[in-house]
Amino acid sequence: MTDQTAVPPHIALLRISGSVMLARCIGVVAELGLADGVAAAPKTAIELAAETKSHPGAMYRALRYLASNGIFAEDAQGRFTNTDISNLLRTGIPGSMRDSVRQSWQDVMWDTYKKIPHTIRTGEPAFTEAFGADFFDYLSAHPDIGARFDAAMAMQSAPENAAVARAYPFGDFKSVVDVAGGRGGFMTELLKTYPNLRGVLFDQQYVLDQPNHVRDAGLLTRCELVGGSFFETVPQGGDVYVLKRILHDWDDDTAVRILKTCAKAMSSRAKIVVVDAVIKPGNDPDPNKALDMGMMILLKGRERTADDFAKVYAAAGLQLTRIIPTGAPSTMSLVEGQLG
């Protein structure tokens, strides 16, 4: 976002408020697939309107507005092409963000945003108030929305996996247990990066039965798939226990419960590495503060500060030993601990 200190305060506030309209227009053109429509050749708003059964005049005015914000570009003949930003709205390309901003997904989020006052008053998730269901239960009941959420999360995780894998000396150990590791995207990155490493991918059995990155990569000879619940037990014998983007889904009491389960399985020499956002102190811009708001309104989870992590570790019988930030494109940190 533009530095708001360079403009009068009332203009800065209006720009921030106006970004709601910009975001909505992005969602609409993503839903209509306009970035795909102009990928091969420039097209006029009239052509795009005909292809999408839209109003030509309204289409032009929306595209003109988006182009003034760097999303699409209009040439002298009134034809529109992609920019670096709108190119991310194309389907199926590396780094595509279309699924994470489409109107259908925005509709879910906007209905949630309407209930933010409920969250501020009560501390309870706005999503539950809006839809009468837990977030993940809702996704299970609406597989079309769930699929888009999964695709958006996969898009976010894939580029950060390499940064996380290289930020910590996993190669110094013999075995790693990826707790609630899902379909194994991060585990696959670890095994490819460190050929000496062996892994255990631990998650609920129905998750492990789905398409799996470890299996697809032909790495099952170095990785065991173990089903179970981290509220009950996790596999013993690991040198490192990893929880990537897991604890932030839960409140502190539940996070402590999960950490205690891991602590019971750890030897005195084992490490635990939580990969999550670590909120910075002060007023400087921090994308993790926005993530924290998202967790608050969708779930009962939260992003945490270094002090917050130290407290939940201590409550679980663990000692926080160091925090290692990752490099771009990741905003995550690795929070290392051991038995206290």
Phi and psi at residue 281, in whole multiples of 5°? -75, 165
What are 225's two structure tokens?
């798939």
List, in order, residues 6 or more apart from 218 with CB less than 8 Å away.
none
**Which of the following is catalytic: 55, 118, 213, 248?**
248
Active site residue 10: no
Phi then psi for residue 142, to 5 deg, are: -130, 80
Q: How far is CA 138 from CA 100, 141, 144, 299, 300, in A?
A: 17, 5, 11, 12, 15
In the numeric block, which tokens belong to residue 61?
Answer: 């005015």
All residues at 6 or more sequence positions from 115 whose CB lies less than 8 Å from its CB, including other chains: 126, 127, 129, 130, 297
Which are the catalytic amino acids? 248
